[in-house]
Amino acid sequence: SGLFDMFKYCSVGTGTTAPANGQTSLVSSIASVQKSSSSNSNLGSPTYAAQYNSVYTFSQGAVTGNIAEFGVGWASGGGSLFSRCLIVDNSGSPTTLTLTSINQLTIYYRLTLTPSLVDVTGTVSLSSINYSYTARLANANTFFSANGDFDNWNGGSMSPFSGIQDA
């Protein structure tokens, strides 16, 4: 349990509408599978980005038809998603992946978190007294803790990368 539960399941579907902020389910889910394996790492200097990689392998023939969307989340069935994506071609245009009963679908999902490495300054008021502060990332090279959670997160950017392989 914990932070990485949000990567526990991958669901695929046929929906073609563009992903929207706050969307927590697939448009039309047809199959789900639990994570096959995962790994995480800190990329070190100069960005200290943390990467979490998940692999989802569906049984042969478990996914058939024209797949247009997939999502990663806490539950099977295409709901409670952390992330939803459309399948795109090499130009970034939405497309479908046609699978038959002889195909086995494997999805590789990578989340990259890049912390802010610049100082953040501001003022906070406590008991009507203003205090200036400077906040900065500490222990950037230990961005992942031993239990797999993100330590020392101080803002930054998130960049999902997804790869689909038709075995």
pLDDT in tens, the chain (167 residues): 456 677 889 999 999 999 998 888 999 999 999 988 888 787 778 888 888 889 999 999 999 999 999 999 888 887 788 889 999 999 999 999 999 999 999 999 988 888 888 888 889 898 999 998 888 777 777 655 444 444 444 444 444 444 444 44
The alpha carbon of residue 128 and the mean position of all alpha carbons in its chain are separated, in whole angstroms, by 41
Angstrom distance (rounded) from CA 107 to CA 146: 26
Residues 6+ apart with CB under 8 A from 79: 24, 25, 26, 29, 73
Query: In this predicted structure, what is the pLDDT of residue 85?
Result: 92
The pair of three-digit structure tokens given for residue 94, joined into one six-digit string = 């939405």
Would the pTM count as exceeding 0.85?
A: no
Query: In this predicted structure, what is the pLDDT of residue 128?
Result: 93
Strand partners, 148: none
Angstrom distance (rounded) from CA 13 to CA 26: 7
The pair of three-digit structure tokens given for residue 125, joined into one six-digit string = 């008021």
Taken as a whole, the chain contains a residue count of 167
Residues 6+ apart with CB under 8 A from 11: 26, 29, 31, 32, 70, 71, 73, 76, 77, 78, 81
Query: In this predicted structure, what is the pLDDT of residue 147?
Result: 43
3-state DSSP helix/strand/coil % of the chain, to nearest 5? 5, 50, 45
